[in-house]
Structure 1
Amino acid sequence: MKHRFIFLFFLIVLTSCYQVERNCSDFKTGLFYSEVIINDKIFTSTFSRTDSIQVEFYNGKVDSTQIRWINDCEVVYKTINPKNMAERKDVHLKILKTTDSSYTFEYSYVGENFKQKGIAYRKK
C-alpha cells in the first residue's frame, strides 16, 4: 500500500510538470496547409490568414471567412458568402499544441460537441 502511494505521488509530480507548448500567436497570420483525417481519408487544404480574413483553397474551390480571435489560441470563423445552410454555421477552432512550424488543432461548429482534429503546417 505504501509503495502505491509513493508511486502515485511521483506520477502526479512528474505529469504536473509537463506542459504542452502553445505559442499560438506565432500562427495568427501567414500561409499554411492543413491535414484533417475523416473516416480514414486525409483531406488537405491551403490557406492564407490575415488578422481578420482567411482565404482557403480546397479541391479547386476558394472559400473566404471572417475571423474573430477569442484569445491567442481560439478563433471563430464566419463564411463571408455562404451558399448553403452548413456554410452559415460558424466554426470554432482551438489550437491544442504548437511546434516551431506547425500546430495541432480541434474544431467544431459553434454550439456542437462533435469535434474533429487536424494539423496545420506553415508554408515556406
Structure 2
Amino acid sequence: MLNTRYLLLLLLIMGTSCYNPPRDCKAFKEGTFRFTAIIDGKEQTTTFERYNNQEIDYFEGKADTSSVRWINDCEYIVKKLRPRDAAEEKSIHMKILTTTDSSYTFEYGLVGSSNKSKGTAIKVN
C-alpha cells in the first residue's frame, strides 16, 4: 500500500513536470504591440508594428525599422535596417515562450549569446 502511494506520487510529479504551456505564436506574427522595460532605472515603453518580414519600433518619438526572419512559428531574428553604430548592427534572437489571448512572454538576446532577458509584449490591435 505504501509503495503504491509513492508510485502514484512519482507518476503525478513526472506528468506535471513535462507540462508545456500552450502557445499560439501565429496570432502574434503581425500586429501592433507594446513592451515596457526598465532602462537605466526608468520604466520605458516601446510600441512596435510587425507586418510580413518587417518591424517598426517607436521609442522616444523616433521610428526604427528592422527586418524580421522567422525561424519557426515561435522564434525569429530581428536586424536593424539602418544601424547607427556597431552595437545596433548585431541581430537579436527572439523566442516566444508563452501566450495569452492578448499578450506573449518572450526571451531575447544577441544572436550567439547565452545572455538572455525576458519581457512581455501586449497586443494593442
Do both share a fold (TM > 0.5)? yes
Shift of 1:20: 0.7
TM-score normalized by the length of structure 2: 0.88
Q: Which amino acid aligns with 1:14?
A: T
Q: Partner residue of 1:118?
A: 119
TM-score normalized by the length of structure 1: 0.88
Q: Does 1:89 align with 2:90?
A: yes
Residue 15 of structure 2 aligns to a residue whose secondary structure is helix
Query: Percent of aligned positions with the same letter in both sequences?
Result: 41
Q: Partner residue of 2:11?
A: 9
Shift of 1:41: 4.7
Shift of 1:6: 3.5
Q: Does 1:30 align with 2:31?
A: yes
After the TM superposition, which of the residue ranges 29-38 and 103-112 deviates more from structure 2?
A: 29-38
Give the whole-Å Cα distance in 2 for the aligned partners of 1:40 and 1:26: 32
Shift of 1:14: 3.3
Aligned length: 123
Residue 22 of structure 1 aligns to a residue whose secondary structure is coil
Residue 26 of structure 1 aligns to a residue whose secondary structure is helix
Q: Partner residue of 1:74?
A: 75
Query: How large is the Cα RMSD of the aligned pairs?
Result: 1.9
Give the whole-Å Cα distance in 2 for the aligned partners of 1:26 and 1:63: 23
The unaligned stretches of length 5 or more in structure 1 are none
Q: CA offsets, 1:83-109, max 9 Å, x none?
A: 101100000000000011100000000
Q: CA offsets, 1:32-85, max 9 Å, x none?
A: 111234676533200011011100011222111001000000010110011101
Shift of 1:5: 4.2
The unaligned stretches of length 5 or more in structure 2 are none
Q: Partner residue of 1:109?
A: 110
